[in-house]
Structure 1
Amino acid sequence: MTICAGLVAAVLSTTAAAPATAAAVDNPKYAGIVVDAKTGNVLYGENADSLRYPASLTKMMTLYLVFEALESGRITLDTKVPVSAHAAAEPPSKLGLRTGGSFTVEQGILALVTRSANDASTALGEMLGGSEARFAQMMTAKARALGMTRTTYRNANGLPNTAQMTTARDQARLGIALRQHFPQYYGFFSTRSFKYGKQVIGNHNRLVGNVRGVDGIKTGYTRAAGFNLVTSAQLEGRSVVGVVLGGTSGGARDAQMRKLIAAYLPKASRSGKGNMIEEPAASQFVAARAPEPEQKPQKAIEPDTRPVAAAVASASSLPNAGPVPEARYEEAVETAYAAPTKKSAAIAAAEGTLEAQAQKLAATPGAAAEYTPSVAAPRVDEVTTSSTRIQAGWVIQIGVSPTKQMALDLLQTAQQKGGNVLRSATPFAIAIDNGGAQVYRARFGGFDNQKVAINACNQLKRKGMNCWASQQ
């Protein structure tokens, strides 16, 4: 009986590894890795530290810096991004932006996630860095701070540049960091399509919505790089990030990733804090603020490239060299908000999430005096998790959270900080399906018109919270 069990285990192990090995036999460009996102253990790796071209996986770092700027309040989702002649001239894939025009940060994020638009990516980099070259320096410095020791960036979009290199391991680190550090924005990666002007743009990532548990992240292709893909999957308490570089075709790349997810997601751990990727201190890297209307983009302050302090050694098999101290992840964040203790507030504030910043503001002396309770205002702990009871009209969204409780906590903090402007607003959290997982959009409804909704947002922004208005 024991011998049979051992044989079965051996067969399963061989079967799991076989598709990965077969993918590399006749393809020298191939590299791949699958990492348990809760423990940092590498479940599979092949050429994981060999240098490869990232292609449009580059936009993952562009988005990391965009999310960082959003979280710090330097920009908002409604900030207008100016389009330079250089950005407009970028080759496809692109939105077709015109010199002198503009688009919102939110449109830019969606354009990068779905179409992988090179013109929008360049424009975002120029806005945040003052120039694309300086933004590339910021990207590389951020890569080092995240422990991506073999990655160098030269542009914001991934168009061919022989000096722009990465590894499968580094891209796995970045994929995990995006999930850990920006849960309020990570839901963008599950976008199936969005409308820009008369265009309805679909997501290049064919696994989103088609493979159970997959919630992103990004595709990439150039002739030199081959077909690249970073994929995040969460299912039944397990969580992995997989990377495939150098695929011979889009179909072959996707098929390989499907096999990797099927083989290794069931082997991932259900326990673990996911404390693998350090989030650099906010003071280490300073990007340019969004330029005021009618002004030229400001020059960015040179990023501080000093080594991240207090790098902590780890037994995790993810890093090849690079900091792996305690950091946040879904379970840790959710625990921090489970009970309003001083300890959990301190942990959450130190981790720096949007929700944590709001919680810190709510705990500030005198904050309670700013909030006048309204009998008519619904209790946040009784709000709906769908929009079915919210009448059509204008709503404001204050964030996206990976759990319902985090969304409710965020709504409660916003209600306290908003004061009279949210007295008659209806808080609600919309549950969005991400291929078997869910994220929750924290919103307030019931605003009579656009002006009232925008005024409410402005009030929240003055209190240090992100916010944007839209029509339901």
Structure 2
Amino acid sequence: MDRFVAISSTTFQLFALIGIVLALGSAPAAANPKYAGIVIDAKTGKTLYAHDADEARYPASLTKMMTLYLTFEALERGSINLNTRIKFSANAAKEPPTKLGVGAGRSVTVEQVIYSLVTKSANDASTAIAEHLGGSEAKFASIMTAKARSLGMSRTTFRNAHGLPNSAQTTTARDMATLGIALREHFPRQYKYFSTRSFTFGKTRMGNHNRLLGVVRGVDGIKTGYTRASGFNLVSSVVDRDRSIVAVVMGGRTGASRNEQMKDLIARYLPKASTRGRGNLIARGATASMPMAVASLELPKVGPVPSQRHDGNQRLAFAYAAPTPEPVVGRAALVNSLIAQKVAIPTPAPAIVPPMPVETAANEAIDPVTTASTAPISGWMIQIGAMPDRNAAMALLTKAQGVGGRSLSGTEPFTMAYTKGNEQLYRARFGGFDGQAAATRACSTLKKKGYACWATAN
């Protein structure tokens, strides 16, 4: 009898342990209010997993997936080719990092723009291609939104081409999965760019921010993204033998935890995907919810287009986008967007930067350090200096990126303001390292290049 009791007790403990392990598998969903995720069978369209998949989230640099979609569309239409020169306006050139650093008035090719978006997630290149194709970034954003509707992305609104913070620019995990599938299905020739591991621009080698490429079997793209408001985002396409999925993780606390959650979703749900099915899930033409004329929307045939010019296609885009209310700006926009994401509403801080346009000021309220990625809430980071001016700190980071090579691949530059005596200083840091060893290696590389550097965990 005692032996039976002992065995029963052991069995109970085993089942309890299994229950704990299974519960931990859903821990990111339970513990993080920003988290949203979805896994779609790319052959049948069946939803294999979903958590808050239709709740509003900030896309961050996942935005560039739509910028690339419209770029690929223009390539297929013949209005541009891979060697078309894309000129950087002063507006594009001044975009904050992550960026290529091309000066105003200079240009790069369309193919260089594509590579910079899929690897470095360059904000300046995003704005430059948007202005070239749409005449202005605002007009291009309207076309992005109209195209989203034509693809069935009913809960997505774009206000810019790069994904820097804007309280009116929102999406959902399901909509991002739809866009990922559309990129695969509609542009099989161009889709190969998303699997690019690195891109050399001038003397600088830029590694892909997607750490799953070459690490997780079957992963062939697509895109990462991060701002403080959005958390760490990732859309992954996986093709393994005769199964195929597109998975989305949004709102990760760190890049490493986001990647682990994605690996877990792939391991769990790829085996459940169908071995049959033809794909072709996302129509390029009209959907049941929109007019045919808007579904066949095209960008202008030439670019850039003067701001006062409006051809028929542009009018369709704006006519369709018009029902979307004008963005609420200022603290009201911040409150609305944070309520939607169940985030605590901060007390407004006094301005420490020169006056800005109203919408930009609203963006700054969401993310005080306007960079492609800002300081991770936790994890390992490195610091290479402190400057009395934020722009000078960012310039130092950009220069360090140029020599850091692989050691800085997948990391993000940011500044952190602090007061020393009566002086305001800005720490120049890189965040997003997978651990202490990676941060230490980066410091070692930068020190050999003459930079001061130390690693820290936050």
TM-score by length of 1: 0.60
Partners of 1:238 and 1:99 lie apart in 2 by 46
Partners of 1:99 and 1:90 lie apart in 2 by 11
Seen in structure 2, the aligned counterparts of structure 1 residues 182 and 68 have a Cα distance that, compared at 3 Å, is: same
Shift, 1:273, TM fit: 1.2
Q: Quick check: 2:134–2:303 contact (8 Å CA) kept in 1?
A: no
Seen in structure 2, the aligned counterparts of structure 1 residues 243 and 16 have a Cα distance that, compared at 3 Å, is: farther
Q: Quick check: 2:38–2:53 contact (8 Å CA) kept in 1?
A: yes
Partners of 1:91 and 1:168 lie apart in 2 by 26
Shift, 1:236, TM fit: 1.1
Question: Which residue in 2 is equivalent to 1:272?
Answer: 277
Question: Which residue in 2 is equivalent to 1:66?
Answer: 71
Match 1:255 to one of 257, 260, 264: 260
Question: Which residue in 2 is equivalent to 1:99?
Answer: 104
2:187 matches 1:182 = yes
Q: Quick check: 1:32–1:46 contact (8 Å CA) kept in 2?
A: yes
Q: Where in structure 2 are the equivalents of 1:379-418 lying within 5 Å? A: none
Shift, 1:94, TM fit: 0.4
2:149 matches 1:137 = no
Shift, 1:253, TM fit: 0.4
Match 1:25 to one of 17, 25, 30: 30
Q: Quick check: 1:38–1:269 contact (8 Å CA) kept in 2?
A: yes
Partners of 1:121 and 1:244 lie apart in 2 by 23
Question: Which residue in 1 is equivalent to 2:85?
Answer: 80
Question: Which residue in 2 is equivalent to 1:287?
Answer: 299
Q: Quick check: 1:288–1:298 contact (8 Å CA) kept in 2?
A: no
Shift, 1:166, TM fit: 0.2
Q: Quick check: 1:287–1:303 contact (8 Å CA) kept in 2?
A: no
Seen in structure 2, the aligned counterparts of structure 1 residues 232 and 17 have a Cα distance that, compared at 3 Å, is: farther
Partners of 2:254 and 2:75 lie apart in 1 by 35
Match 2:170 to one of 152, 155, 165: 165
The superposition leaves residues 404-433 of structure 1 with CA deviations (integer Å, 9 ceiling, x where unpaired) of: xxxxxxxxxxxxxxxxxxxxxxxxxxxxxx
Partners of 2:75 and 2:308 lie apart in 1 by 17
Structure 1: any 5+ residue segments left out of the alignment?
1-9, 308-472
2:214 matches 1:202 = no
The superposition leaves residues 352-382 of structure 1 with CA deviations (integer Å, 9 ceiling, x where unpaired) of: xxxxxxxxxxxxxxxxxxxxxxxxxxxxxxx
Shift, 1:15, TM fit: 9.4
| Alignment RMSD | 2.4
Shift, 1:296, TM fit: 6.9
Percent of aligned pairs with the same amino acid = 60
Q: Quick check: 1:19–1:259 contact (8 Å CA) kept in 2?
A: no
Report SS of the residue matched to 2:206. Answer: strand
The superposition leaves residues 230-262 of structure 1 with CA deviations (integer Å, 9 ceiling, x where unpaired) of: 000000110000000000000000010001001
Q: Where in structure 2 are the equivalents of 1:416-435 lying within 5 Å? A: none
Report SS of the residue matched to 2:50. Answer: strand
Shift, 1:19, TM fit: 5.2
Seen in structure 2, the aligned counterparts of structure 1 residues 144 and 296 have a Cα distance that, compared at 3 Å, is: closer
Seen in structure 2, the aligned counterparts of structure 1 residues 278 and 29 have a Cα distance that, compared at 3 Å, is: same
Q: Quick check: 1:151–1:170 contact (8 Å CA) kept in 2?
A: yes
Seen in structure 2, the aligned counterparts of structure 1 residues 109 and 184 have a Cα distance that, compared at 3 Å, is: same
Seen in structure 2, the aligned counterparts of structure 1 residues 285 and 15 have a Cα distance that, compared at 3 Å, is: farther
Partners of 2:140 and 2:160 lie apart in 1 by 8
Seen in structure 2, the aligned counterparts of structure 1 residues 185 and 16 have a Cα distance that, compared at 3 Å, is: farther
Q: Quick check: 1:154–1:163 contact (8 Å CA) kept in 2?
A: yes
Partners of 1:221 and 1:252 lie apart in 2 by 13
Partners of 2:198 and 2:88 lie apart in 1 by 23
Partners of 1:137 and 1:250 lie apart in 2 by 30
Shift, 1:194, TM fit: 1.1
Matched residues, number: 295
Partners of 1:134 and 1:191 lie apart in 2 by 29
Structure 2: any 5+ residue segments left out of the alignment?
1-14, 287-291, 321-458
Match 2:155 to one of 144, 150, 167: 150
Match 1:304 to one of 292, 305, 316: 316
**Paired amino acid for 1:248:** R
**Paired amino acid for 1:55:** A
Seen in structure 2, the aligned counterparts of structure 1 residues 265 and 298 have a Cα distance that, compared at 3 Å, is: farther
Partners of 1:109 and 1:242 lie apart in 2 by 22
Partners of 2:259 and 2:197 lie apart in 1 by 16
Partners of 2:89 and 2:63 lie apart in 1 by 20
Shift, 1:97, TM fit: 1.2
Partners of 1:202 and 1:74 lie apart in 2 by 29
Q: Quick check: 1:130–1:300 contact (8 Å CA) kept in 2?
A: no
Report SS of the residue matched to 2:54. Answer: coil
Seen in structure 2, the aligned counterparts of structure 1 residues 133 and 297 have a Cα distance that, compared at 3 Å, is: closer
Report SS of the residue matched to 2:316. Answer: coil
Shift, 1:16, TM fit: 10
**Paired amino acid for 2:204:** Q
Q: Quick check: 2:133–2:303 contact (8 Å CA) kept in 1?
A: no
Report SS of the residue matched to 2:138. Answer: helix
Seen in structure 2, the aligned counterparts of structure 1 residues 14 and 75 have a Cα distance that, compared at 3 Å, is: farther
The superposition leaves residues 91-140 of structure 1 with CA deviations (integer Å, 9 ceiling, x where unpaired) of: 11101011000010000000000000000001011111000000000000
TM-score by length of 2: 0.61
Partners of 1:187 and 1:300 lie apart in 2 by 34
Partners of 2:25 and 2:66 lie apart in 1 by 26
